[in-house]
Amino acid sequence: MYSIKSVFFFILFLTASTLLTAQLTKNNTVAATPKLSAGISLGGTVSNVSSNQLAAPLTVIDFNDLSTNKKWNETFAFHLLYHINEEYGIESGVFYDKKTIHLSGNNGGANQDKKTNPIFTYEYISIPLLFKKTMGTKKVKATFLAGPYLGLLQSSSFSNKTFIIVRDNNNNFVEIAEEEAFNLNNATRESNFGLLIKVGAEMKATEIITPFIQAVYSRSFSQADDFTDIRSDFPDTVESDGKFSSFGISLGLYFQMK
């Protein structure tokens, strides 16, 4: 099974190869009439957060005591691309962006003998505004897209399973799970502003359809937590300054609109 990094660097290698082909191929560029393309894409990302704690004290989880497990999150998007000319464009649309922080290990302190598996899940509907640059032959092109995005929170939640050893009625030692789950909507910022970068390649299959593959990286500028709604209950609590980052891959199709 290929690792996340190997897939990521394969896409970068494909992009570099396409760029090299573009340099070796001379084209007479003809100005094109600006037109629109619509698109759809599916993909997966893994996420991280620059914080040792989220939504504390609602969740008393210290990331330093636990291991972070990389978890694929599904993504899908609808694209709307305005072609300025054959080389440049502006892309927007909407995409579903899920960020999962999955931890595991043993609790510290008095509960260090307990195994725990906390999961933080955040779901956003995001709107990007990206500048697009294409380079290559008329058939195969390398692509670079970059720009800001605005994510609107749909839901955020926390769940945890803590496993402990107890004696049953027959005096045997058994492992049982103590479970808890609740939403974090009141402790999460409603919008998430950040930077989105995509590097990839596309190949024109027909006059209408253009498949593409992209390596995707995003970095939020907004912190995840926001205790405005519950500040009266936790007046002395300092919010986490955790910011999300994600990277992954995306496969899709553009459809030229006449």
Kindly write down the DSSP assignment for every residue of 11-51, as one continuous string: HHHHHHHHHHHHHHS-----PPPPEEEEEEEEEEEEEEES-
Determine the structural domain holding residue 165 and report its residue range. 4-23+35-257
- Report the candidate in 39, 34, 47 with the shortest Cα–Cα distance to residue 122: 47
| Residue 30 is assigned to a structural domain of this protein | no
Mean residue pLDDT of the chain comes to 83
Cα torsion 19, 23, 27, 32: sign:
positive
Do the domain assignments include residue 120? yes
Number of separate domains in the chain: 1
CATH classification at residue 216: 2.40.160.20
Q: What is the pLDDT of residue 167?
A: 67
Q: Is 225 within a domain?
A: yes
Query: What percent of the chain lies above the pLDDT cut of 70?
Result: 79
Q: How confident is the model at residue 112 (pLDDT cuts 50, 70, 90)?
A: low
- Catalogue the E-assigned strands of 107-243: 115-116, 119-128, 130-136, 140-167, 173-183, 191-203, 209-220
Does the residue 28 lie in any domain? no
Mean local confidence (pLDDT), 6-15: 47
**Lowest mean pLDDT across 133-142, 150-159, 226-235:** 226-235
Q: Does residue 191 lie within any of the structural domains?
A: yes
| Domain presence at residue 110 | yes
Q: Is residue 82 part of a domain?
A: yes
Contact 211, 201 (CB under 8 A): no
Among 24-28, 51-55, 66-70, 102-106, name the one with the lowest average pLDDT: 24-28
Residue 29: inside a domain, yes or no? no
